[in-house]
Structure 1
């Protein structure tokens, strides 16, 4: 008996099947696995029969064609319930599981639907509300992990000696510093322009601006001491993302040459992992991306290999191919700006599969489940309702033994009356996610 190894019999060994077997059997369930095309290679191992042939004693999964295809085509999706879980790509009655877990998982994790024709939002993004998961009510559960857990239970019933990995729940806080300062670090022209605008439109802001610039008050966006003290108090894992692009309608960060901003980046980067927050247009322009990456590397004095796109604005597969070409090995953009939940259906990192080139890439994708702006800007929630949603996502991630990732902005944590509820939620989330 081999307690940690299985074999898969398939009519042929395809790249998509290899990728998905590695994800489900290897990464999630912790098994060693091998795909075979000849039953003479079976040996005494438990056998998953992913073919149309009859193999007595095997665990039968009737394959949906998706994993043996090349290219992209519209796929009809029908969702049904199985033991309280939504499932797609249903199997035949002679299967030991009523749906093709491999094809279903691949469809979600590869983001197959994002390669198809869709109606983009005003920023050119694939909206969460357009996704199959949202439209069928399962965006807020990590179905791939839960499918894998149910699959393991069925395999155990057939092969009781199999031993599966016990996955450990973890949490990660990520901070996007779109605007590190409200008033500082702007340069003379931007500062004077901002002051004139404040006097004309927001007179109260002009007094605050002058007090900050004269050193009599702290900058309201510069709340990094508060963020870091909460990280340290709860022993949380955290990563920070800093922009280094030019000023635009969607990019309001200081110049990368500004000394106060450089000091902030360096001081934060000495304690925590610091990555690039590419500008609005960098997701579609490799030269812009490269310039911004070089700038941030020069400030930190080291190579950068992680990033998250500003506005969560990216398009598959082009944006991810650019990251790989530019030396990025880990991306944190896999989440929706308009809806919380599991964009790829999974509560943990995975390797990006390129559907155009039909191969597993070297880019590690770390999905996030919730962003602060999603809650108060898109969903228009108050902190109490936002807390309920965050607690549900943490609970679902715990059940999956996954990685709960939240995305916060320093601007959401200002020490002002209108932001106190969000501060309390931030503090409570850090404590709950760690216990």
Structure 2
């Protein structure tokens, strides 16, 4: 056990120490603000404050974890060994920067609370992020910092038991449209055929007719192929289905259609099934509750997994709505248009609400890339970028997650390339 002394034990301190020490390094911790208890402790101990008490292991702090709410923070990013750091401190500290404040800044998504320029979809853009601007978006810095902190602890306390982390990978399939043509209704089918005809997409016109007359399988219904892959290689995979009402933003078929529900039930027999939040579910609690109940009615169990279809995190409101509805896991932490680590980590972490200054029970699973970013990228570049990201995650024993869409594996996409990316991620030989 590691005893941690700090003059004031704040919710932020409890949150970030538990995540770094226990969540990543597997070290149990205890806090104290009593100097006598700290001095009398014979085991591993660390003080976190403005100055050391004696010759103990000491990490100097900045003020971020002692504050409440949020404000503009001036940050200077500096090189540190094979990584970077910010919030520098004096040489008296065991580390040249406040690892805990830096990690909290990234994990809490502090920068998404302060005023920023939003993109055309009203989202926090990658270009506004510190990691992108300072060139460390492609590195899971929080995990790297934690492992370097582990080395400092091991050097000071040689008898400390060290737990090695194991690399893992999994894929999330975002299913906005279970079917491309099937069950769309006569009016939508005719409108679609007219659109394809005027765009000179005659192949799609004939495909619509073939699907309508049951001569051809729907091109987006590739679930049997993916399930076969799961069964053959015993893969862990998540499928997020959208169950929204039809609107200008959400254009899936009616959730009550039997073929739609049958696909969800079939997939649920072999993989984890969750909810792909519709456009309005991200913004409205009532709509989110409705979609959640629809999914639970289909899978006959509580909804545990969610993914934001618009990639608009809307912090903290959207995550707090998930907490209120007792959704346990969310997979939306990433950028839809850039490969990298939005929260600076490849380790799941509990969402911390800065507005309320509380640690919530929602476990956030960050993803590294979304397949949408590869639509305009050459295959060679796509494989190179994914391999580099895999190496980064493997180096820290983290969890690599990627988001694909079911249509990525259809005949209208570069399915062969996407299947090869899946094989690379799961290390299928």
Q: Into which bin does the TM-score normalised by the smaller protein fall?
A: over 0.9
Deviation at 1:190?
1.6
The answer for the alignment partner of 1:412 in structure 2 is 408
By how many angstroms is 1:128 displaced? 1.6
Q: 1:254 to 1:143 in 2, by over 3 A?
A: same
1:340-355 equivalences in 2 (<5 Å): 340-355=339-354
CA distance in 2, matches of 1:136, 1:338: 18
Alpha-carbon distance in 1 for matches of 2:8, 2:426? 49
- 1:15 maps to which residue? 11
Secondary structure of the 1:312 match is coil
- Shift of residue 198 of structure 1? 2.8
TM-score (normalised: structure 1): 0.95
Question: Gaps (5+ residues) in structure 2?
Answer: none
Query: Counterpart of 2:393?
Result: 397
Deviation of the 1:200 alpha carbon: 3.4
Q: What does residue 195 of structure 2 align with?
A: 197
Paired residue for 2:418? Answer: 423
| Equivalent residue for 2:31, pick from 35, 46, 50 | 35
Q: Name segments (4+ residues, structure 1) moved above 4 Å.
A: none
Query: In structure 2, how many angstroms separate the alpha carbons of the residues matched to 1:397 and 1:427?
Result: 16
- State how 1:21-420 maps to structure 2 within 5 Å: 21-42=17-38, 43-201=41-199, 202-376=201-375, 380-416=376-412, 419-420=414-415
Contact kept in structure 2, 1:176 and 1:410, CA below 8 Å: yes
Cα distance, 1:199 vs structure 2: 3.2
Kindly state the Cα deviation for residue 159 of structure 1 after the two structures are TM-superposed. Answer: 1.4
Deviations 1:354-386 (A, max 9, x none): 10010100111111111100222xxx2122211
C-alpha contact (below 8 Å) 1:28/1:165 kept by paired residues: no
Greater displacement, 38-47 / 12-21: 38-47
CA RMSD of aligned residues (A): 1.5
- Indicate conservation of the 8 Å contact 1:173/1:236, yes or no: no
Q: For the Cα contact (< 8 Å) 2:87–2:97, is it kept in 1?
A: yes
Q: Give the unaligned 5+ runs of structure 1.
A: none
Aligned-residue offset at 1:305: 2.2
User: Structure 1 residues 304 and 420, CA, compared in 2 at 3 Å: closer, same or farther?
Assistant: closer
Cα distance in structure 2, aligned partners of 1:57 and 1:163: 22
Number of residues of Structure 1 aligned to a counterpart in Structure 2:
426
C-alpha contact (below 8 Å) 1:369/1:393 kept by paired residues: yes
Aligned to 1:406, the other structure's residue is in SS state strand
Scaled by the length of structure 2, the TM-score of the pair is: 0.96
Question: 1:424 offset after TM fit, Å?
Answer: 4.1
Q: Deviations for 1:260-293, whole angstroms, at most 9, x for unmatched residues?
A: 1111011111221110101112111111111111
1:6 aligns with 2:2: yes
**Corresponding residue SS for 2:248:** coil
- 1:234–1:431 Cα contact (<8 Å) kept: no
Q: Say which SS state the counterpart of residue 282 (structure 1) adopts.
A: coil
- Partner secondary structure for residue 192 of structure 1: helix
Cα distance in 2, alignment partners of residues 90 and 316 from structure 1: 28
* 8 A contact 1:72–1:116 mirrored in 2: yes
CA distance in structure 2 between the partners assigned to 1:330 and 1:293 by the alignment: 13
| Shift, 1:421, TM fit | 4.3
Q: Contact conserved, 1:230 with 1:427, CA < 8 A, in 2? A: no
For residues 213 and 270 of structure 1, the distance between their equivalents in structure 2, rounded to whole angstroms, comes to: 28
Partner Cα separation in structure 2 for residue 137 and residue 231 of structure 1:
36
How far apart are the structure 2 equivalents of 1:420 and 1:111? 34
1:313-346 CA deviation, whole Å, 9 max, x = no partner? 2210011011111221111101111111111111
- How far the C-alpha of 1:430 sits from its partner, in A, is 4.1
Secondary structure in 2 aligned to 1:404? Answer: strand
Distance (Å, rounded) in 1 between the aligned partners of 2:300 and 2:73: 47
1:207-235 per-residue CA deviation (whole Å, 9 max, x = no partner) reads 11001111111111111112222222332
